Amino acid sequence: MASSPLVNCWTEWGPLELVCVGSAQGMCYPDETPVYSCATGPLSLRPYLQLIAGPRPKSRIQQAQNQLDHLADLLRAESVVVANSIADLLDGDIGKVLSRKQTSLVGSCE
């Protein structure tokens, strides 16, 4: 039997190697832009959403940021490379960070 394949984009079972964890800074409630119409639910909710549209309270932003920081720490403890933004990835050697993985098929596809 062939050796097991390296982690690649074709498997969801391989170990996680790299993840980008974002930031809660600038978090806000959706506004009336057409992009958010699918996320805002039925039309009966629109008047309510207009009342609360805009930045979220600073305490909620800080709570969310603490949760994201905890997630990043947890992932690092599991030897996963954590980037806080795409810029973090692009600052290094992109060839090393996003190296292409080899794919191999094992067994029959019948």
pLDDT digits (tens, 9 = 90+) for 74-93: 999 988 888 877 676 666 66
- Does a structural domain hold residue 82? yes
Q: Return the residue matching tokens 């932003």.
A: 61
Decide the pairing of beta strands 18-20 and 81-83. parallel
Band of residue 72 on the pLDDT scale cut at 50, 70, 90 = very high
Total number of domains in the chain: 1
Within a domain: residue 87? Answer: yes
| Structural domain that includes position 70 | 18-27+57-97
Position 70 scores a pLDDT of 96
Question: Does residue 71 sit within a domain?
Answer: yes
pLDDT at residue 42 greater than cutoff 70:
yes
pLDDT given for residue 84 in this prediction: 79
Q: For residue 80, is it within any domain?
A: yes
Residue with the bigger pLDDT between 52 and 88: it is 52
Q: Name the more confident of 81 and 2.
A: 81
Per cent of the chain over pLDDT 70 is 55
Of residues 17 and 94, the one with the higher pLDDT is 17
The b-or-e profile of 36-53 (16+ CB within 10 A means b, else e) is eeeebeeeeeeeebeeee
pTM attached to this predicted model: 0.59
What the block records as the tokens of 80 is 């996963």
